[in-house]
Amino acid sequence: ARRIVLAARPQGEPKETDFRSETFTLGEPEPGQVLLESLYLSLDPYMRGRMSDAKSYAPSVALGQTIVGEVVARVLASAAPGYAVGDLVLAHAGWTTHALMDAKGLVKIDPATAPLETRLGVLGMPGFTAYAGLREIGRPRAGETVVVAAASGPVGSLVGQLAKRDGARAVGIAGGADKCAYVKKELGFDAVIDHRRDDMAQALAAACPDGIDVYFENVGGAVWEAVFPLLNAFARVPVCGLIADYNGTSAPSGDLTVPGLMRGVLTKRLTLRGFINYDLEFYREDFLREVGAGLRDGTIRHTEDISVGLDSAPQAFMGMLKGRNFGKVLVRLAQ
Ligand code: NDP
């Protein structure tokens, strides 16, 4: 079997030498365990945080340890009741081709109900994040304006599509002409702004003539600075991610000061609330029902960016942090 371990803690942008590919051997499953072969590995922005030793909501990956991650896997051997050879599961196996895992933490999946690659994207953790953050904190109403960045990615693309289903106006922010065209034409957002243009803040203001009622925060940085003055009274801001800062080596900077932010929170009666998807697990059933139905009838669109082979993972991961991905980033490890 092969795995990728953390060779060094990235300083700023991760580089090839921060990762190391290793071969290793696995024994037979102990009672309660299964032997898994990974089919797809999910690459997600949160992994950048785990590569750092800064204090966060989850422990860091130790140097020399397999990098964390979720996979869709097939059971190759089982010593666990209820699991048979050939079963398909979701597992937190990490960046590895094979793993011995306790059956307790696994979730069985039925390939007949949804394509496997959606289980790590629109119907998996990122999709659930969009759904739960929007339902719990954003709560868009008909006629309101909802803004989201990283709008072609698995979180942002679903945020906008769900906002549309609620009767709100969806305004996306994405990097580059191709992603912008996809967000508008394929995903059906009402407007889209390229955050790479110099006049992004003016363009955003023009695209939000009635201000912003819900800003689903995926990126921070210059986008947040452009959004903040446009927030309406009683606006809601689910704080989901701050990817613009993940590779930062110094404290994030910007024109908006903490007192300026606090003044806005008070005078506009804003709700800013951070969340991690698993805080909101009680939305799981509603999410699977509603988004599952949207996938089956084709009204919810999604796209995946799939590279092949475990050794493609570091490049694919580094590219995602810079916006080189187009859709949910997956690595195909086996058929
Ligand atoms: P994506 O697949 O959308 O990939 C990240 C995207 O971020 C890039 O493609 C790029 O898109 C965009 N981006 C990177 N840097 C910047 C920047 N400086 N300004 C604007 N956009 C930038 O990622 P996901 O959909 O998986 O995740 C989106 C966000 O949600 C991340 O911040 C992630 O950490 C967060 N998240 C939070 C969870 C939680 O539980 N709180 C769970 C899952 C995700 P583009 O080219 O369009 O700029």
Please give the structure tokens belonging to residue 108: 């069985």
Same domain, 217 and 102: no
Helix (H, G, I), strand (E, B) or coil at 35: strand
Q: Sorting pLDDT into bands at 50, 70 and 90, what band is 249?
A: confident
Report the nearest-CA residue for atom 17 of ligand 1: 244
Mutate to test the pocket of ligand 1, among 42, 136, 155 (most ligand atoms within 8 A of CB): 155
Please give the structure tokens belonging to residue 262: 């606090």
Predicted confidence at residue 58, as pLDDT, reads 93
Predicted confidence at residue 78, as pLDDT, reads 98
**Residue 39 belongs to a domain:** yes
311-327 pLDDT tens trace: 999 999 999 999 999 99
Average pLDDT of the residues in 217-233: 97
Same domain, 110 and 98: yes
110-159 pLDDT tens trace: 999 999 999 999 999 999 999 999 999 999 999 999 999 999 999 999 99
14-61 pLDDT tens trace: 999 999 999 999 999 999 999 999 999 999 999 999 999 999 999 999
68-79 pLDDT tens trace: 999 999 999 999
Instruction: List the CATH number of the domain containing 194.
Output: 3.40.50.720
CA dist 131 and 162 (Å) reads 8
User: Residues enclosing ligand 1, CB less than 6 A?
Assistant: 44-46, 126, 129, 149-150, 152-156, 174-175, 179, 195, 218-219, 221, 223, 240-241, 243-244, 275-277, 320, 323, 325, 329
Same domain, 31 and 107: yes
CA dist 134 and 110 (Å) reads 27
Q: Sorting pLDDT into bands at 50, 70 and 90, what band is 209?
A: very high
Same domain, 90 and 219: no
**Residue 298 belongs to a domain:** no
Average pLDDT of the residues in 204-218: 98
Predicted confidence at residue 254, as pLDDT, reads 85
Q: Sorting pLDDT into bands at 50, 70 and 90, what band is 251?
A: confident
CA dist 149 and 159 (Å) reads 10
**Residue 289 belongs to a domain:** no
CA dist 103 and 221 (Å) reads 41
In the chain, % of residues over pLDDT 90: 97
- What backbone torsions phi and psi does residue 161 show, to the nearest 5 degrees? -70, -35
State yes or no: pLDDT of 108 exceeds 90: yes
- What backbone torsions phi and psi does residue 76 show, to the nearest 5 degrees? -95, -30
Same domain, 169 and 224: yes
Same domain, 107 and 141: no
Report the nearest-CA residue for atom 9 of ligand 1: 323
Same domain, 246 and 261: yes
State yes or no: pLDDT of 109 exceeds 90: yes
In the chain, % of residues over pLDDT 70: 100
296-315 pLDDT tens trace: 999 999 999 999 999 999 99
Same domain, 138 and 224: yes
Q: How far is the CA of 192 from the centre of ligand 1 (A)?
A: 16
**Residue 287 belongs to a domain:** no
| Contact assessment for residue 241 and residue 321, using Cβ atoms and an 8 Å cutoff | no
CA dist 43 and 320 (Å) reads 8
CA dist 74 and 264 (Å) reads 51
Q: In the chain, which residue ranges form alpha helices assigned H by DSSP?
A: 46-50, 125-133, 154-165, 177-181, 200-207, 221-227, 258-267, 284-296, 313-321
Residue with tokens 């990615």: 153
Same domain, 189 and 224: yes
State yes or no: pLDDT of 253 exceeds 90: no
**Averaged pLDDT score across all residues of the chain:** 97
Same domain, 85 and 149: no
Supply the range of the domain harboring residue 38: 2-121+303-332
Q: What was the ipTM of the complex prediction?
A: 0.99
- Tell which residue, 111, 176, 166, has the closest CA to residue 138: 166
Predicted confidence at residue 221, as pLDDT, reads 94
Average pLDDT of the residues in 241-267: 92
Number of domains forming the structure of the chain: 2
Predicted confidence at residue 136, as pLDDT, reads 98
91-106 pLDDT tens trace: 999 999 999 999 999 9
CA dist 135 and 145 (Å) reads 15
| Contact assessment for residue 181 and residue 160, using Cβ atoms and an 8 Å cutoff | no
Report the nearest-CA residue for atom 8 of ligand 1: 323
Predicted confidence at residue 250, as pLDDT, reads 83
Predicted confidence at residue 252, as pLDDT, reads 80
142-152 pLDDT tens trace: 999 999 999 99
Instruction: List the CATH number of the domain containing 99.
Output: 3.90.180.10
- Tell which residue, 80, 91, 81, 82, has the closest CA to residue 36: 91
